Amino acid sequence: MTFKADVAINVFGKVHQTALSLLSLLGCSGEHISKIYFQEEACTAEYEFKKHDAILKYLGDKIEHFVPKYWNGIDPNDMERAASSEDYRLSIRYQYGWEKCQQRYLLTVHNDIEVTMDIVANLYNELDGHTGIGEIGQCWWCPAGQKGLCDSERYMEFKPSYQYLMKIYNKDMDYTQRRAYNLGLSDQYKENAWPLPECRLNEWCALIDMDKARKDTMPMGSAVPFGARMPSGALIGKNWDRPVCLDIAVQWFRDMLHMGHTFKHYDVNMDMIHDKLGSIKLDSAEAYVVAEQKALLRLKDRFPEYCEFAGLS
């Protein structure tokens, strides 16, 4: 099988988890990987930067480290600014790898996974001419998914009106465990409710055909960047004064579908281990330390030569 993919990984802390993500990916799919673009958030603590030195040095020319000028946090991205400022645009998650990618295929990955099978080859073999492939949708967050009306395989068929969507969102749903979309959505959803706000190509492991995607995505096309976070219209906060941001790739996925692109669902959990609530670990010191220690044990088990190199033995 003769194909190559570049890799875009967005990194914020998780030193051992990041190393495990990359080493397990290379261990299972290394023959298909050309370059890894390591985009590290600008607000990462100096301690974390220094700790990432080990994996960066270990992978050498295989990896390219980039620290953007700006930190976007979880705020909405400014698309006018992204169109006029390269520094700002490259601060959007995964964007550096997107623009630097030299291969036809780009793999996006989280920095808290452990790959167990040749996931790159498996995604490639199932791509079937689509623009991208990976796990579709965060259905566990979505009331339509919870009510059995839609799922990762049926998202192309479930196209409700805005009024029907609001009925789904407002009936018998516990919003202490969900984003408060029942409060209303932005005008784009009122005009066309499909795809739903939790529908996306999940970035934790997705393969994208750049020949198809790049020309229609900023800075070359009209779709927002893959990693852009856009406001949904719903509000959160003590005084309902802050916008709920659509997750990474939701707006891009929506823009691309409306331009005629198609995407295929693939259950990446067959080929890797991933905590879908990984962001919670950044809000809990205890959970973060536990996750890091688990990753360190896996590194020592699977990659002892790296641990010796990094002084972790």
Does a structural domain hold residue 235?
A: no
Does a structural domain hold residue 83?
A: yes
Q: For the chain, what is the mean pLDDT?
A: 91
Nearest 5°: the CA angle 67, 69, 72 is: 95
Given a cut of 80, whether residue 157 has pLDDT beyond it is yes
Nearest Cα neighbor of 129 from 255, 213, 198, 22 is: 213
Give the lowest-confidence range in 97-106, 173-182, 227-236, 280-289: 173-182
Q: What is the DSSP letter of 149?
A: S
Residue 84 pLDDT level (bands cut at 50, 70, 90): very high
Does a structural domain hold residue 244?
A: no
Does a structural domain hold residue 92?
A: yes
Report how far residue 249's alpha carbon sits from residue 256's, in angstroms, rounded to the nearest whole number. Answer: 10
| pLDDT reported for residue 46 | 62
**What does the pLDDT look like over 109-149, one tens digit per residue?**
999 999 999 999 999 999 999 999 999 999 988 889 989 99
Domain containing 68 equals 5-136+200-221+260-309
Q: What token pair was written down for 305?
A: 């030569």
Does a structural domain hold residue 53?
A: yes
Q: Which amino acid is at 295?
A: A
Q: Whose structure tokens read 């169109």?
A: 83
The residue that leads in pLDDT, 3 or 280, is 3
- Crossing angle between the packed helical segments 46-59 and 15-29, to the nearest 10 degrees: 20
Does a structural domain hold residue 176?
A: no
Does a structural domain hold residue 97?
A: yes
| pLDDT reported for residue 231 | 83
Task: Give the global pTM.
Answer: 0.94
Q: Three-class SS string for 77-106?
A: CCHHHHHHCHHHHCCCCCHHHHHHCCCCEE
Q: What is the CATH number of the domain that holds 97?
A: 3.90.550.10
Per the structure, the count of domains in the chain is: 1
Report how far residue 199's alpha carbon sits from residue 15's, in angstroms, rounded to the nearest whole number. Answer: 29
Q: With beta carbons less than 8 A apart as the criterion, state whether 23 and 50 touch.
A: no
Does a structural domain hold residue 228?
A: no
Nearest Cα neighbor of 9 from 37, 50, 45 is: 37
| pLDDT reported for residue 242 | 63
Report how far residue 8's alpha carbon sits from residue 14's, in angstroms, rounded to the nearest whole number. Answer: 16
The residue that leads in pLDDT, 242 or 260, is 260
User: For residue 4, how many C-alpha atoms fall within 13 Å in the half-sphere facing its CB?
Assistant: 8
Contacts of 61 (CB under 8 A, 6+ apart): none
